[in-house]
Amino acid sequence: MTVLREIAAGVHVLRHPVLDVNATLVVGGEAALVVDTLSTAEQAQDLLAAVRRVTPLPLLVVNTHHHFDHTMGNMVFAAGGAPIYGHEEAAALIGPALRDRAVLEYPELADGLACTTPVAPGRLVRAADDLDLGDRLVQLRHYGRGHSAGDLVALVPDADLAIAGDLVEESGPPQFDDAYPLEWPDTVATLLAQLGPQAQVVPGHGKVVGPRFVTAQHEQLAALAWLIRDGDRDGAPAERVAAKSPFPQDMALCAVKRGYVQLNMP
């Protein structure tokens, strides 16, 4: 049975075993919010059942970014009438091509994805939006590009909690396939400025962390960004720069290549 774990009053997290991805439930007085909907319709049905064991309230949904493991369950919640919020850049990337890419990269999920129809958010956020759940406010904020072009953070001020999506990764290093490595440090720095010293941060994958962990990851991201800038200035091969990175070389190489492209755009 899929079970949500309460980490603060009215805030529950599901750490799903497939890809170690997190989905979060925030319960208010009149509505409840589900942040991210997992990888397939089947997983989302289990998530919805777990949510309903906690609350019967009307649901809203937020996608922290476009990647399939955070959005392919949207169809289950949309079928129940839940409005889905997401950044406009993320919404533009959620469709059949995203599902097809996931099938190629994760063939073990192909059967589940074949039964899943991508549903993009219909409530688009550019920079900020506030969701009133009834006696509880959730603030949706786009602090800039980082893990993707359309990263959203969901802040729950009364719980001193941030749901960060893949802007913060705990169970593995940050992923750079669609990332903006030169901008990611500034985006995380803006997030850090919103956090109290005892805040909890729900990462996209892995266990719940605090500001100290986020600060350490920010320092690594900033170090990588400076390596990329210095390497581009010196004409260094991407492989040489990636070898100096605080992250695994294959992931860092992707970041360096993307950074080089960004620095040399006309």
Closest residue by Cα to residue 162 from 123, 221, 213 = 213
Confidence of residue 2 (pLDDT cuts 50, 70, 90): confident
pLDDT digits (tens, 9 = 90+) for 175-214: 999 999 999 999 999 999 999 999 999 999 999 999 999 9
- pLDDT at residue 258, as a whole number: 98
Q: Report pLDDT for 55.
A: 98
| Chain segment 128-170, per-residue pLDDT in tens | 999 999 999 999 999 999 999 999 999 999 999 999 999 999 9
Mean pLDDT of 68-72: 98
**Residue 37's closest CA among 153, 119, 127, 100?**
119
Over pLDDT 90: what percentage of the chain? Answer: 98
5-211 folds as Metallo-beta-lactamase; Chain A (3.60.15)
Task: List the Cα angle 74/109/33 in 5-degree steps.
Answer: 25
DSSP 8-state code for residue 211: H
What are the pLDDT digits (tens) for 31-59? 999 999 999 999 999 999 999 999 999 99
Summarised one tens digit per residue, pLDDT across range 211-262 is: 999 999 999 999 999 999 999 999 999 999 999 999 999 999 999 999 999 9
For residue 3, what pLDDT is reported?
Answer: 85
pLDDT at residue 1 greater than cutoff 80: no
φ, ψ (nearest 5 deg) of residue 209: -125, 180
Task: Dump pLDDT digits (tens) for 90-123.
Answer: 999 999 999 999 999 999 999 999 999 999 999 9
SS3 state of residue 18? coil
**So where are the chain's domains?**
5-211
**Verdict on whether the full-model pTM lies above 0.85:** yes
CA distance 223 to 241: 11
Q: Taking CA 177 as the corner, what is the angle to CA 46 and CA 120, rounded to the nearest 5 degrees?
A: 45
